[in-house]
Amino acid sequence: MITLYSVLLTVSVYIFVCFLGKKFSGPFTSPVFLSTAIIIILLLFSNVSYTDYLPAKNIMTYLLGPATVALALPIYKNRDLMIKYMSAALMGLSIGTITTITSAIILAKWLHFSNTIILALTVKSVTVPVATEIGRILKGNISLIAAFVIMTGMIGAMFGPKLLSLLKIHHPFARGLSIGTIAHGIGTAEAVKEGEIQGAVAGAAMGIAAVLTSVIIPYIIPFLI
């Protein structure tokens, strides 16, 4: 019963927040951010622990597989556009990936964070499954890594589109590439709401950025930590 309650609660809150977000568009009505906050509060009031909620989480996480695979369809439909901007996209992805890793390390060292936190911050912009695998290889704190990844995705989804608009970046390819590179799956979900091209490019960028990060980090970490 708790599992069914948790699933229905999560889906209901998400639908409500999506409706609310359409009425009052803004960073803090972003579905992932607001629904997460509301669900946590409701679970606390319902005395449902994370252990009790875990089976429901596993069911919904399993559904992420088909949802991620479904991103291949808009990518395929927009393949000509992808090919047209491939060189510029790969250059932007490479620079963006390296910059997000090195800037996080430099800032964290300047603030005198521990190596455990620095390592977790280096993989904050890739999707959780990839980030945790990199963390295991480098013997990082998996829970901390997952937390930073989720926070990065939320911040990217909440403020990324607004920042791009503020900087007068309106081209759908550029917007999708930026959000997918820094905010992985959560950002991609936000990009999909903007349009098919933004969603397709963000999905492709998310995957390529994860591969680049997996290749780059083992070489960068020994020099910067």
Domain definitions of the chain by residue range: 1-62, 68-224
| Distance in angstroms (rounded) separating the CA atoms of residues 102 and 74 | 32
Question: What confidence score (pLDDT) does residue 130 get?
Answer: 84
Q: Provide mean pLDDT across the span 109-137.
A: 85
Q: How many CA atoms lie within 13 A of 54 on its CB side?
A: 4
Residue range 59-112, pLDDT digits in tens = 877 777 677 677 778 888 888 888 888 888 889 888 888 888 888 888 888 888
Q: What would the pLDDT profile of 207-216 be if each residue is shown by its tens digit?
A: 888 888 888 8
Query: From residue 125, how far is each of 30, 93, 113 by CA, in Å?
Result: 18, 12, 18
Closest CA to 43 of 103, 95, 2, 94: 2
Report the C-alpha gap between 77 and 161 in whole angstroms: 23
Residues 166-220 have pLDDT tens digits of 999 898 899 999 998 888 888 888 888 888 888 888 888 888 888 888 888 877 6
Length of the chain, please? 225
Q: Which residue's entry shows tokens 């991609």?
A: 188
Q: Which residues contact 92 (CB under 8 A, 6 or more apart)?
A: 177, 181
Q: How confident is the model at residue 223 (pLDDT cuts 50, 70, 90)?
A: low
Instruction: Please compute the mean of the pLDDT values over residues 4-29 and round it to a whole number.
Output: 83
Supply the pTM of this predicted model: 0.80
pLDDT of 222 = 64
Q: Which 8-state DSSP code applies to residue 27?
A: G
Mean pLDDT computed over 44-73: 79
Lowest-confidence segment of 11-20, 58-67, 96-105, 117-126 by average pLDDT? 58-67
Where do we find the tokens 């998310």? 206
CB 13 within 8 A of CB 42: yes
Whole-number pLDDT of residue 192? 83
Cβ distance 157 to 33 under 8 Å? yes
